[in-house]
Structure 1
Amino acid sequence: MIANPNSTSQSPALFSSIVPTLMEVPDLHLLSKFTHYAGHAEEMCRAIVEDPDSDIDAVLVLGGDGTVNEVVNGLLGPADKPVESRRIPALAVVPTGSANVFARALGFPADAESAVETLAGTLAGNLTRDITLGTWNDRWFAVNAGFGIDAEVIAGVERARSYGFAASPLVYLNVSLRAWMRARREPPQISLQTRTKDGEEVVCEDIPLCVASNTNPWTFLGPLPVVTNPRNSFDRNLGIFGLSDISGIKGAAGMLHLIGFGYRKYFGQWIRQNMIRVDDVVEVTLSCHEPRRFQVDGESAGVRQSVVLRSVPAALKVFAPTVAHHKKFSRRPWQVVRDLVRIR
């Protein structure tokens, strides 16, 4: 088990409640390690796969999507020189990050206590599945990647966390609104060229918003799923979503559509005139007129001008429930307020 002590909801109390649940799984031998710096999880996983005497069957991530990304890259190695599949342990996850898109898309509950109970059952039953992953240049991603507004939001949230604020839904909403307003004044100019599994090619020039996702939903804003490509799943290739215009009422409506507004027949048709949606994409090239921030799995990946994303089916074996859990847990008003504005 690789635990990130800096993930949003990680705490000694949570850790001490998770371990006893896992230790009840028959024949489970658990070795726990904590990460101490960025990239540490990747280094530990790389050491596991490079050790010919390693007897580790699975790596359990106690963290968010960023930690999952590190573990995936450590287990699989460079995307252009993948590790032999027989040497790769399966991946398991208990969500303790902010959005936790990967775990929730696999069907785990959003809260860690419920998720670890579900995971214990999947471990006991050896319930695994092979999932599709994405690559960008020589790196892997599990959830999403993109230029533009989403990358600006990630950078803004990271700044807020550096000031002591947790990555709460209120912080994400505040940063997102600011990023959207900046993008309306100075819209990014993103070009994309895609190729689908069926050989269809889609080319778009100078659009202000474009994201690639490997999951459905694309992300979560607190309890709200942000859906870009409803047909997406870990069994298909990448989904590409874009907006041709983010100005005016139609642009605002297009953003709200992602979190569930405007699905009535005629209103939805009006909004979709502004949308670019391509499913089952095996390769896409994203490029900008000038270097822009780029994000991968909810973490900033620096400033780049172009990237090539590809889809790799059955790239990794993961533990996952056979039935998705969408447990709704009640919270008192003070708990809602706390989660909106909490400070670490």
Structure 2
Amino acid sequence: MDVLMIANPNSTTHTDALFHRIVPGLREVSGLRLRTCFTHRPGHAEDLCRGLRRSDYDVILIVGGDGTVNEAINGLLGPVRADDDLRAREQSPLPALAIIPTGSANVFARAVGIPSDPVAAAKDLAVLLAGNRRRRVCLGTWNDRWFAVNAGFGVDAEVIARIERARARGFAATPLRYLIVSLRAWASAQRQPPAMSARVVDRAGETHRIPRVPLCLVSNTNPWTFLGPVPVVTNPRNSFDNGLSLFALRSVRGVRGVAAMLHLVGVGHRPRWEEWISDRIVSVDDAREITLACAGPQRFQVDGEYEGEYEQVRLRAVPGAIEVVAREHTPAPGPRRWRSILRSVVCAR
């Protein structure tokens, strides 16, 4: 088994000492031949993966965060075609994707059941590689590129942009900083709410139109994280086995606006709470195509990375787009209590 390990030395928890704890266990897998490359700049992982096929490597192992995973996926799959149905790709199989998470959120890794601790993840990965445990997952596309976990306009994109500015000034992307930045972005949205609309085509071909909402998120799995380790559960029925899901808030103002925002981090998934905020929330599951449009240029994020300002973005679901080294099913998280959420945000490193 030929494995190409692509490691991002600038990811949040990556250190030389950690790397030396990861590699020996992988080398013990019978028949595994490991080659390692380090990334040196944004987009480097995409360049390293571009054009690779199963005849080159059986597995591409990413040691990094969601941004590096996103780059690897875009490098392996290449630009999105308007009629992309994977038939051409099946004639030339791609390497499977494996992950050891060393980023700040590690959304994709945790969504496929990989431990958040990189040493534990490496041990688990060795078992999965030895047993050839793999599964295919649905991916999303936006314009001509791919995404693995989520995309959206509005408050979430504003938070990502502000976090990137903070990191550029040398501040760490801690859960507490995400919380502070999120509160500031929410306060800004109270004064000048973004305005966007969505057109959703579900699996049955039915079209749903959602006009003028200040927050609109598209997810590809459940959960996806937003405040560090805190699970964000917008669409509980979503998974890598279904199409895309859309979650929108009609308003972020007032007490019920706050309650609807808290719904994002797992608070309020009980019948009385959901009934109280039901008129603020719009959700559609298992969509095959979603078009998001804004009244003017708005910040847009993909897989936790700020992608710039757009007025319109078209997203599509591509079932079974890539093979991942992981167990077949991952249990979904249950509702969380306030104490658990606060502990995750304040105490996590």
TM-score by length of 2: 0.90
How many Å separate the matches in 2 of 1:158 and 1:290? Answer: 22
**In the alignment, structure 1 residue 38 sits paired with structure 2 residue 39:** no
2:106 is matched with: 100
Amino acid in structure 2 at the alignment position of 1:84: R
> Which residue of the other structure, out of 190, 198, 209, is the alignment partner of 1:203?
209
Find the residue that maps to 1:216 and give its secondary structure. coil
Identity %: 56
CA deviation after TM superposition for structure 1 residue 337, in Å: 6.6
**In the alignment, structure 1 residue 241 sits paired with structure 2 residue 247:** yes
How many Å separate the matches in 1 of 2:226 and 2:21? Answer: 25
CA deviation after TM superposition for structure 1 residue 191, in Å: 0.5
Any conservation in 2 of the 1:108–1:324 contact (CA below 8 Å)? no
Any conservation in 2 of the 1:118–1:321 contact (CA below 8 Å)? no
Find the residue that maps to 1:131 and give its secondary structure. strand
Find the residue that maps to 2:318 and give its secondary structure. strand
2:14 is matched with: 10
CA deviation after TM superposition for structure 1 residue 322, in Å: 4.0
1:308 is matched with: 314
> Which residue of the other structure, out of 223, 234, 237, is the alignment partner of 1:217?
223
1:79 is matched with: 80
Any conservation in 2 of the 1:109–1:326 contact (CA below 8 Å)? no
Any conservation in 2 of the 1:237–1:281 contact (CA below 8 Å)? yes
How many Å separate the matches in 1 of 2:98 and 2:77? Answer: 15
**In the alignment, structure 1 residue 145 sits paired with structure 2 residue 151:** yes
Amino acid in structure 2 at the alignment position of 1:207: V
CA deviation after TM superposition for structure 1 residue 177, in Å: 0.8
1:254 is matched with: 260
How many Å separate the matches in 2 of 1:233 and 1:337? Answer: 28
How many Å separate the matches in 2 of 1:27 and 1:288? Answer: 52
CA deviation after TM superposition for structure 1 residue 174, in Å: 1.1
Q: Note the alpha carbon deviations across 1:212-256, whole angstroms, 9 max, x for none.
A: 000101324233211011011100000100000100000000011
Amino acid in structure 2 at the alignment position of 1:61: I
User: Which has the higher mean CA deviation after the structures are superposed, 74-83 or 299-308?
Assistant: 74-83
2:117 is matched with: 111
Any conservation in 1 of the 2:228–2:345 contact (CA below 8 Å)? no
1:297 is matched with: 303
How many Å separate the matches in 2 of 1:116 and 1:326? Answer: 22
Find the residue that maps to 1:48 and give its secondary structure. coil
**In the alignment, structure 1 residue 190 sits paired with structure 2 residue 190:** no
Which ranges in structure 2 are unaligned for 5 or more consecutive residues? 334-343
CA deviation after TM superposition for structure 1 residue 339, in Å: 4.6
**In the alignment, structure 1 residue 90 sits paired with structure 2 residue 102:** no
2:24 is matched with: 20
Amino acid in structure 2 at the alignment position of 1:267: W
Cα gap change, 1:326/1:115 in structure 2, threshold over 3 Å: closer, same or farther?
A: farther
Cα gap change, 1:59/1:256 in structure 2, threshold over 3 Å: closer, same or farther?
A: same
Amino acid in structure 1 at the alignment position of 2:221: T
> Which residue of the other structure, out of 171, 175, 189, is the alignment partner of 1:169?
175
1:332 is matched with: none
How many Å separate the matches in 2 of 1:6 and 1:326? Answer: 30
Amino acid in structure 1 at the alignment position of 2:219: S
Any conservation in 1 of the 2:213–2:250 contact (CA below 8 Å)? yes
Any conservation in 1 of the 2:153–2:300 contact (CA below 8 Å)? yes
How many Å separate the matches in 2 of 1:323 and 1:314? Answer: 14
**In the alignment, structure 1 residue 317 sits paired with structure 2 residue 318:** no
How many Å separate the matches in 1 of 2:332 and 2:221? Answer: 16
Which ranges in structure 1 are unaligned for 5 or more consecutive residues? 328-334
1:331 is matched with: none
How many Å separate the matches in 1 of 2:345 and 2:315? Answer: 37
Cα gap change, 1:16/1:304 in structure 2, threshold over 3 Å: closer, same or farther?
A: same
Amino acid in structure 2 at the alignment position of 1:200: E
1:288 is matched with: 294
Any conservation in 1 of the 2:229–2:348 contact (CA below 8 Å)? no
TM-score by length of 1: 0.92
How many Å separate the matches in 1 of 2:332 and 2:201? Answer: 33
CA deviation after TM superposition for structure 1 residue 87, in Å: 3.5
How many Å separate the matches in 2 of 1:294 and 1:326? Answer: 27
Task: Give the alignment's Cα RMSD to 1 decimal.
Answer: 2.0
Any conservation in 1 of the 2:179–2:345 contact (CA below 8 Å)? no
CA deviation after TM superposition for structure 1 residue 166, in Å: 1.6
Amino acid in structure 2 at the alignment position of 1:5: P
Instruction: Report runs of 4+ in structure 1 exceeding 6 Å deviation.
Output: 335-338
How many Å separate the matches in 1 of 2:76 and 2:304? Answer: 19
